[in-house]
Amino acid sequence: MNFWEYLGNRHQQLLADAFQHASAVFQCMVIATLLGVLIGVLTYRREWAGNLAITSTATILTVPSLALIGLLIPVLGLGVAPTVTALVLYGLLPITRNAVVGLRGVDPTLVDAAKGIGMSRAARLLRVELPLAWPPILTGIRVATQMLMGIAAIAAFASGPGLGNQIFRGISSLGSSNALNEVLSGTLGIVILALLFDAVYVLIGRLTISRGIRA
Amino acid sequence: MPETQPPTAAAAGPAADAGPAAGAAPVTGATIQLENLSKRYHGSALPAVDSVNMEIGAGELVVFVGPSGCGKSTLLKMINRLIEPTSGRIRIGGEDVTRIDPVKLRRKVGYAIQASGLFPHMTVGDNIGLVPKMIGWSKTKVKDRVEEMLDLVGLDPKEFHGRYPRQLSGGQQQRVGVARALAADPPVLLMDEPFGAVDPITRDHLQDELIRLQRELHKTIVFVTHDFDEAVKLGDRIVVLREQSHIAQFDTPEAILTNPSDDFVSGFVGAGAALKRLNLTRVRDVGIADFPTVSVDDPLQSIFDRLRAGTHSELLLLDRKGRPYKWLRRGDLMRAKGSLARAGTLVGDYVTRDATLRDALEAVLTDSSGRVAVTGRRGEYIGVVDMETLMNSVHELLEEDRLSAMEAQHELEETRAQQTHLAQEGGAAAGPVPENGAGSSVAGGGGRLEGK
Ligand SMILES: Nc1ncnc2c1ncn2[C@@H]1O[C@H](COP(=O)(O)OP(=O)(O)OP(=O)(O)O)[C@@H](O)[C@H]1O
Ligand SMILES: [Mg+2]
């Protein structure tokens, strides 16, 4: 069976896997974004806190994904829980770092002006600082998404959902007639998904970054 | 042609209670009182601002001027508590605001800074409407206000409302910054070198604009600059600050120019105080003289006759709309063989009644006739100012300044003597009068005095 025949045969399975893959990445990105921005907002004002946040999220990233999932299985069991946890943890670094750097990069005279015209701390954050820090944060989210696309494939190791299952099935049955097709379709699917997500981010950037600060 | 309008350009003087007496617009400003206000930054040995006492009247425009690092910005930012004072008290409109919620305080105090401080991600309209929206104005009211404010600062609302700050020139940004600061109609406006970052010509425009605006609004404005000429141009009163915000002199521009309290202040005033003084008086405040005029429509013969018979050897020829056109001397017509078109010399320069004496002097010096024509709103002839009038007025002004300065000096000495007397009688109760180099003094009851 050549690759095209394989796709024709299995397209339903593949689509379901792709959908699950995308949905897992999407949901984890939502959680990671909320958490990452929150950590950024809570820490950027203090030198040490912000640096600690960046360093600790960076440390997580140095743990190989397979190892992290392996470590999580005894604690959280198999399936969705370790997958989500691992993906969120990996997604945190780029988002947290860019949130801290972005918020710190807001021109202090603008913050002064915001204070000076009587904006409360919350208003300053929501109306001035976050909108101005949003472009780098969105870049962080993009980078994190690309990363999670690949890492999500590893989740199949913990019986997680997604295209990783194709790849693992292929690897475990290397030599069989469909092994290559399986690995190839899984990998290609991930690449295509990543490109689609990126296109969506470009669109989101267009819609959410003010024309006044767009490059 | 005597002018009945009040001399608005001349400072109203210490407008402690009533504010400027003249002027149609009501005073919307509030008094500002600073009492023993100090700021010591963390980790520095000397305070950046050391025990400042000052009272600014409602509707006054007071300029802080002083060398870089003397604490002007620190002092200014303590008024809206962007910088929290280490000690001392701030009152606005009589209310002690030293401990109230700073956000609430800042909604009563507009703030405009160098390079405008506009939020780049918001349109001009959103920037201006931000504070009104925050304090809960309705959408339509905010919208109307934004248009009103753009109008006020001389920008076409339709054109500029939807622009982003980066689509504006520096001067336009600065106007929007001022509009934003005034949007919620705060009684007090703080401005920290607002025109520091624009070119000299734009700065001149913006200064004129601010003067006009203040004539309409009568806010209490505190303006920081290190340009003494700017201070003279804008201030009802000027505070000259030396290091640690010690008040070197707090007085009207006239008084500081003619009677600087010490070498530090004279150093700051710089050379040419008498010339700078000319900037403070307008043509409308000096005698505008009549001058014999003829019109281009007059019969040639009558012009001839007047030139020959008149006591003046010179006439001003007006064009059909009554605007100054040419200076005609005796003999000019003869030389031009009776052609008005070729006779005489064209009027080079003219000034309006709002021009400063300095402008007038400049015009007189460059015009060959030794005088300058004064024109009205539509360029029509009103009168002339000549060298002699100018010299006399300047001498009178300087003399007047000298007298009032002497009077002030006298008064001050009297109060001092009285205080010393009181202190001697009251013993320790009255406390010593601190005599620091700045010469700032402490009044008896309230414990404050407006410099000297
Ligand atoms: N945040 C700060 N921490 C420590 N010292 C400060 C701080 N801000 C200002 N200073 C010091 O306080 C003094 C007064 O500063 P300030 O900014 O008020 O001066 P300024 O008169 O506004 O000067 P300029 O004309 O240059 O703006 C300076 O010596 C400055 O170094
Ligand atoms: Mg300053």
What is the C-alpha to C-alpha distance for residues A25 and A88, in angstroms, rounded to an integer?
A: 9
Distances (CA, A) of A84 to A21, A65, A189, B355, B400: 11, 12, 20, 75, 84
Q: What is the pLDDT of residues A32-59, one digit of tens each?
A: 999 999 999 999 999 899 889 888 888 8
CATH code of the domain covering residue A68:
1.10.3720.10
Ligand 1 atom closest to the CA of B224, numbered from 1: 22
**What is the reported pLDDT for A68?**
86
Contact B115 A213 (CB under 8 A): no
- Most A CBs within 10 Å, among B109, B121, B122, to test the A interface: B121
Ranges A143-147, B126-130, B275-279: which has the least confidence: B275-279
Ranges A23-32, A164-173, A186-195, B128-137: which has the least confidence: A164-173
Residue B136 touches chain A, beta carbons under 8 Å: no
Backbone angles phi, psi at B384, to 5 degrees: -135, 155
Are the beta carbons of B401 and B251 closer than 8 angstroms?
A: no
Ranges B17-31, B46-60, B301-315, B396-410: which has the least confidence: B17-31
Give me the half-sphere count of Cα atoms (radius 13 Å) on the Cβ side of residue A85. 16
Q: What is the pLDDT of residues B257-268, one digit of tens each?
A: 888 888 888 888
Of residues A18 and B197, more confidently modeled: A18
- The pLDDT of residue B10 is above 70: no
Residue B161 touches chain A, beta carbons under 8 Å: no
Instruction: With CA atoms as reference, report the closest residue to A155 among A141, A147, A165.
Output: A165
Neighbours of A12 (CB within 10 A): 8
Kindly write down the DSSP assignment for every residue of A7-55, as one continuous string.
Answer: HHHHHHHHHHHHHHHHHHHHHHHHHHHHHHHHHHHHHTTSHHHHHHHHH
Sequence-distant (6+) residues with CB within 8 A of B419 are B430, B433, B441, B444
Mean pLDDT over B250-254 rounds to 91
DSSP secondary structure letter of residue B356: B
Q: How far is B107 from chain A (nearest CA, A)?
A: 5
Domains identified in chain A, total number = 1
Mean of the per-residue pLDDT values of chain B:
82
3-state secondary structure of A140: helix
Which strand (E) or helix (H) includes residue A197? helix A179-208
Distances (CA, A) of A132 to A110, B97, B120, B375, B440: 10, 32, 8, 52, 45
Q: Are strands B87-92 and B32-39 parallel, antiparallel or unpaired?
A: antiparallel
pLDDT band for position B205 (cuts 50, 70, 90): confident
CA end-to-end span of chain A = 49
Q: Give A113 Cα–ligand 2 centroid separation in angstroms.
A: 14
Beta bridge partners of B221: B61, B189
**What is the reported pLDDT for A137?**
95
Mean pLDDT over B308-328 rounds to 85
Partner residue facing B106 (CB), from A117, A128, A212:
A117
**What is the reported pLDDT for A196?**
94
Of residues A133 and B390, more confidently modeled: A133
- Most B CBs within 10 Å, among A106, A115, A117, A138, to test the B interface: A117
Q: What is the pLDDT of residues B346-383, one digit of tens each?
A: 888 888 888 888 888 888 888 777 889 998 878 889 99
Residue A106 touches chain B, beta carbons under 8 Å: no
Which structural domain, as residue segments, surrounds residue A104? 3-214
pLDDT band for position B426 (cuts 50, 70, 90): low
Ligand number nearest CA of B48 is 1
**What is the reported pLDDT for B25?**
60
DSSP secondary structure letter of residue B95: E
Residues of B in contact with A123 (CB under 8 A): 134
Are the beta carbons of B27 and B217 closer than 8 angstroms?
A: no
Q: Give A108 Cα–ligand 2 centroid separation in angstroms.
A: 14
Residue of B39, B42, B72 to test ligand 1 pocket, by largest number of atoms within 8 Å of CB: B72
pLDDT band for position B17 (cuts 50, 70, 90): very low
- The pLDDT of residue B338 is above 70: yes
Residue A120 touches chain B, beta carbons under 8 Å: yes
List, chain by chain if needed, residues with CB within 6 Å of any ligand 1 atom: B 41, 44, 48, 68-74, 226
Q: Are strands B109-113 and B188-192 parallel, antiparallel or unpaired?
A: parallel
- The pLDDT of residue B13 is above 80: no
Beta bridge partners of B190: B111, B222
3-state secondary structure of B221: strand
Neighbours of B139 (CB within 10 A): 9
pLDDT band for position B24 (cuts 50, 70, 90): low
pLDDT band for position B281 (cuts 50, 70, 90): confident
Q: What is the pLDDT of residues B40-91, one digit of tens each?
A: 999 888 999 999 999 999 999 999 999 999 999 999 999 999 999 999 999 9
Give the rounded percent of residues in chain B with a pLDDT score beyond 70.
Answer: 88
Residue of B42, B46, B74 to test ligand 1 pocket, by largest number of atoms within 8 Å of CB: B74
Of residues B276 and B121, more confidently modeled: B121
What is the C-alpha to C-alpha distance for residues B119 and B115, in angstroms, rounded to an integer?
A: 11
Instruction: With CA atoms as reference, report the closest residue to B237 among B2, B17, B452.
Output: B452
pLDDT band for position B427 (cuts 50, 70, 90): low
Ligand 1 atom closest to the CA of B241, numbered from 1: 21
Size of interface A-B (CB pairs under 8 A): 67
Longest dimension (CA), chain A: 71
Place of tokens 């539509």: B378
Ranges A18-32, A123-137, B317-331: which has the least confidence: B317-331
Residue B82 touches chain A, beta carbons under 8 Å: yes
Sheet bearing B237-242, strands edge to edge? B109-113, B188-192, B220-225, B61-65, B237-242, B246-251
Mean pLDDT over B311-321 rounds to 85
Place of tokens 């009032």: B404
Q: Give B56 Cα–ligand 2 centroid separation in angstroms.
A: 20
